[in-house]
């Protein structure tokens, strides 16, 4: 089973990923978490380029770099884990590209979806949790966190694109959820980590009991 976690920076994806992995293990399931982009050596190198404020990447370059990193993650990590029967929980996946590069940057959606078709193919999540947070609240939370590419509170390259951009991304996520209600569940990020997980847990157990 493949589950993806989506939402703006600081919405709590990484925090809830840990909670979900613990919960699955308590239920006796073998579970694995990955972060997209990342994990593979190529993915980590690309992630650094993508997040560095010094990379003056155009929108298309950004789109293709994410696609390359994701392809490696799928081949090297996601498909092997699924083949071993593990539940895979992803911190971001291709909906991030649709939301940020498609809705946020305005890249032609036909191209975005064509790339997903080639890169992701049938490796699609059965469940996607979209953590819906106000962009200013999310940014406030990530600013407080250690970011390897940020100095003196400087935001990384993508965060530096500004609040209007993040508002479009948020609306994009909600549009994805509306278009695929079977797969996507919107989780309002209100209250502390425990309160957010209390909304996640019944969604998970319903899917697992199916
Ligand atoms: N519900 C919550 N209420 C308050 N703080 C929270 C909540 N969830 C997470 N946090 C804190 O907010 C910060 C950001 O959370 P987290 O790193 O999980 O977000 P993220 O979505 O993974 O962000 P990024 O996209 O930047 O990786 C962390 O310091 C975390 O401890
Ligand atoms: Mg995170």
For ligand 2, the distance from its centroid to the CA atom of residue 139, given in whole angstroms, is: 12
CATH, domain range 2-208: 3.40.50.300
What does the pLDDT read at residue 200?
Answer: 98
Give pLDDT < 50 ranges for the chain: 152
The span from the CA of 135 to the CA of 92, in Å, is 17
| pTM of the predicted model over 0.75 | yes
Report which of 90, 70, 68 is spatially closest to residue 1, judged by C-alpha positions: 90
Give 121-178 pLDDT, tens digit per residue: 999 999 999 999 999 999 889 876 655 555 545 566 666 668 899 999 999 999 999 9
What does the pLDDT read at residue 152?
Answer: 45
What does the pLDDT read at residue 68?
Answer: 96
Helix, strand or coil for residue 182? coil
Specify the ligand 1 atom closest to the Cα of 15: 18
What does the pLDDT read at residue 204?
Answer: 97
What does the pLDDT read at residue 143?
Answer: 78
3-class SS string, 141-167: HHHCCCCCCCCCCCCCCCHHHCHHHHH
For residues 57, 59, 65 and 66, what is the CA-based torsion angle, rounded to 10 degrees?
130
Which residue, by CA, sits nearest to atom 4 of ligand 1? 192
What does the pLDDT read at residue 205?
Answer: 94
For ligand 2, the distance from its centroid to the CA atom of residue 105, given in whole angstroms, is: 21
């Amino acid at each position: 089973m493949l589950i993806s976690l989506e939402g703006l920076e600081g919405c709590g994806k990484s925090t809830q990923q840990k909670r979900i992995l613990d919960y699955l293990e308590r239920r006796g399931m073998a579970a694995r978490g990955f972060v997209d982009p990342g994990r593979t050596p190529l993915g980590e190198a690309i992630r650094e380029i993508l997040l560095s404020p010094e990379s003056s990447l155009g929108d298309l370059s950004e789109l293709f770099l994410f696609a390359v990193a994701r392809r490696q993650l799928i081949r090297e990590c996601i498909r092997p884990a699924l083949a071993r029967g593990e539940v895979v929980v992803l911190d971001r996946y291709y909906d991030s590209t649709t939301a940020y590069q498609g809705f946020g940057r305005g890249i032609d959606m036909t191209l975005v979806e064509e790339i997903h078709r080639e890169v992701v193919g049938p490796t699609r999540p059965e469940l996607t949790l979209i953590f819906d947070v106000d962009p200013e609240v999310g940014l406030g939370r990530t600013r407080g966190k250690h970011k390897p590419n940020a100095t003196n509170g400087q935001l990384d390259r993508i965060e530096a694109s500004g609040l209007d951009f993040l508002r479009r991304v948020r609306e994009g996520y909600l549009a994805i959820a509306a278009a695929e209600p079977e797969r996507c569940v919107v989780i309002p990020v209100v209250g502390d980590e425990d309160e957010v997980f209390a909304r996640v847990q019944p969604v998970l157990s319903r899917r697992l009991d199916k």
